[in-house]
Amino acid sequence: MRRQRREDKEESSYRDNTAKLRSLYPGTTLFDALVKEVDTPEVKKELYAKGFTHLLIQIGRGSHIPSKSTGEDGALAVDYFTFSSSIAETLRSASLVISHAGSGSIFETLRAGKPLIVAVNEDLMDNHQAELAEELAERKHLFCTRPHMLHRTIADMKIESLIPYLPGDAKPVANLINRFLGFPED
């Protein structure tokens, strides 16, 4: 019973985020398939239908240049950038993040408390990223998709169904390793 109340409280924290900035982070990797897909009319239409008004895309080292839009024509406003020395401010102002499945991008977004759609790059060999993304999606911390299914994931997503990620405490593991190595405990 106590756990259920805590989960109800955690789920409701996503409902309070009313900003309308959307961001996409393929990160510093090359993931043109994701950038191309988010630049499609279908994805933009689904985002706009969900109430999002702005799309900011980090294209990284990719070659696909998204179509910019001011949003004055009653559509989604779209802008992009290549790299940022600190993505933290952009992340803070986002109300939804679409990202590649790199663990750093995933956990940075989850720690920031932002709803997240992770698109798995199926072109990677030994795709450990898919395992992480699918496990976190199964735990309802994020939505997991493939680039070609992004528009459907956006249409079907219910942000309020996500459960905020609560990072674990690594101190007991660190203490165990320190003890094993003969280092003094803190």
Residue range 93-110, pLDDT digits in tens: 889 999 888 888 899 999
**pTM of the predicted protein model:** 0.77
Share of the chain above pLDDT 90, in %: 39
At residue 88, the pLDDT reads 82
Q: Where are the alpha helices (DSSP H) in 112-169?
A: 128-138, 150-156
Is the confidence at residue 28, as pLDDT, over 60?
no
Give the pLDDT confidence score for residue 25 in this predicted structure.
53
Q: Please, what are the domains in the chain?
A: 2-181 (3.40.50.2000)
At residue 105's C-alpha, the angle toward residues 103 and 109, to 5°, is 115
Q: Is the pLDDT of residue 3 over 50?
A: no
Please give the average per-residue pLDDT across 73-78, as a whole number. 86
Token pair, residue 107, equals 């956990």
Please tell me the predicted confidence (pLDDT) of residue 13: 40
**CB–CB of 24/52 below 8 Å?**
no
